Amino acid sequence: MTEVFSKAINNTISVDRIIANIKGKNKGASIVFFAGIHGNETAGVFALERVLKTIDPETIHGNIYGISGNLQALKSNQRFLDKDLNRIWTKEQLEALKSKDQFNIEELEQLEIFKLLQDIITTDSGPFYFIDFHTTSSKTLPFITINDALINRKFSKLFPVPIVLGIEEYLNGPLLSYINELGYVSLGFESGQHEEKEAIDNSISFIYQALVHAKIMDKETVPDFKKYHELLKSNSENLTEIFEVVYLHRLKEGDNFKMKEGFKSFQPVKKGTVLATSNGEDLECSRSARLFMPLYQKKGAEGFFIIRPIKPFFLKLSAILRYLKFDGLLVLLPGISWENNSKAALKVNLKVTKFFAKSIFHLLGYRNKRVDATHLLLYNRERASKIESYENEGWY
């Protein structure tokens, strides 16, 4: 058992890797909640422990899993100890673990979580839902982050909070990106600031809503369902737009970075606003947009993001183009080909990208993940999506 402390409610609880596993008496979906992938983000752990211990299996259709992330970091209340556990979920990293005989702390945590994940996917029949709880170092509205796949968009729109997509283009190795590559619904829920009680309350509300939307619990068995919906709606200030990330200020090792005080996520900022200092120089906002996840803690490699809303017309257009698999026509153009037979990524000559706006590839579900001297690889979550698993779900 690992002891986890919350400053927000001045309480300590003891949890195992599996906080709870509830096997319903009736068939249904499987939902997997992760919390504490970052050890200083405890709100989700407390929320899962509080909610899942009260649920009656007789009311459940399917299976519920509550999983603790970085147990050693949770014990120390640190984001991570050796390496960020939410930046190492790549196929290359997982393959490399097979040949290692010595592991750092986060690699040992990863091995346990990976085995558990494999066991769930191979044992349960699905459909599967994966939700990862986080909090931020800055003040923030509650919000959802997703990899840009339509199954993620559709499920996320059921919740009364803003949605931010495209973050996978700027981060390497998040757990949910790996799961999304497997084709399952996966979303992150950022419930608030690290040490705020509101972050726990938001997480509790989100858990109940996710269970109802995935048809694992009937709405009638959650007496306060409407209250939970209204709580998130109120705390997100009725902001339900879909945003995309357009810029990340990435920190280099040794950078002396400091955000200016008082900024919070989703705050509108004007072009020229000084957001932070880095190595003694002011960092100004390059455009009028919204600030996202400004860094107010020592550990972390992302200083701040800039986001902008996506117009509904382009969201609808992208859905139509993806349904028609319009991206298949791109390989008819010179300089563009499939990376391999799986058709999960486009290999694009850098000379060609000069003539294509990044937004064209985004419409079709492609996000830039790797560049070499001559080519760009654009990865697509859409073709990997196990749409057939969700077609009979009420929200699809």
Supply the pLDDT for residue 107: 97
Based on its alpha-carbon atoms, the radius of gyration of the chain, rounded to whole angstroms, reads: 21
Half-sphere exposure of 249 (CA within 13 A, CB side): 22
More confident call, 65 vs 334: 65
**Is the pLDDT score of 169 beyond 90?**
no
Q: Which of 122, 121, 131 is nearest to 32 (CA)?
A: 131
Beta carbons of 358 and 348 less than 8 angstroms apart: no
Instruction: Return d(Cα 305, Cα 303) in angstroms, integer.
Output: 7
Residue 244 above 90 pLDDT? yes
Q: What is residue 36's predicted lDDT score, i.e. its pLDDT?
A: 98
Half-sphere exposure of 167 (CA within 13 A, CB side): 25
DSSP 304-367: EEEEEEPPHHHHHHHHHHHHTTGGGGGGGSTTEEESSTT--EEEEEHHHHTTS-HHHHHHTTEE
pLDDT tens for 22-58 read 999 889 999 999 999 999 999 999 999 999 999 999 9
Q: Which of these ranges, 149-153, 330-334, 351-355, has the smallest mean pLDDT? A: 351-355
Per cent of the chain over pLDDT 70 is 98
Inform me whether the pLDDT recorded for 157 exceeds 90.
Answer: yes
Per-residue pLDDT of 269-310, as tens digits, reads 999 999 999 999 999 999 999 999 999 999 999 999 999 999
pLDDT value at 10 more than 90: yes
Q: How far is Cα 392 from Cα 396, in angstroms, rounded to an integer?
A: 7
Q: Are 138 and 193 in contact (CB under 8 A)?
A: yes
CA distance 30 to 35: 17
pLDDT exceeds cutoff 70 at 369: no
Cα 91 from chain centroid? 18
Sequential DSSP letters for 202-219:
HHHHHHHHHHHHTTSS-G
Q: Which helix (H) or strand (E) holds 176?
A: helix 175-181
pLDDT at 355 over 80: no
User: If pLDDT is split at 50, 70 and 90, which confidence band does 370 have?
Assistant: low
Say how many residues make up the chain.
396
pLDDT beyond 70 at 354 = no
377 pLDDT tier (thresholds 50, 70, 90): confident
Instruction: Work out the pLDDT band at 7, boundaries 50, 70, 90.
Output: very high
CB atoms inside a 10 Å sphere around CB 241:
15
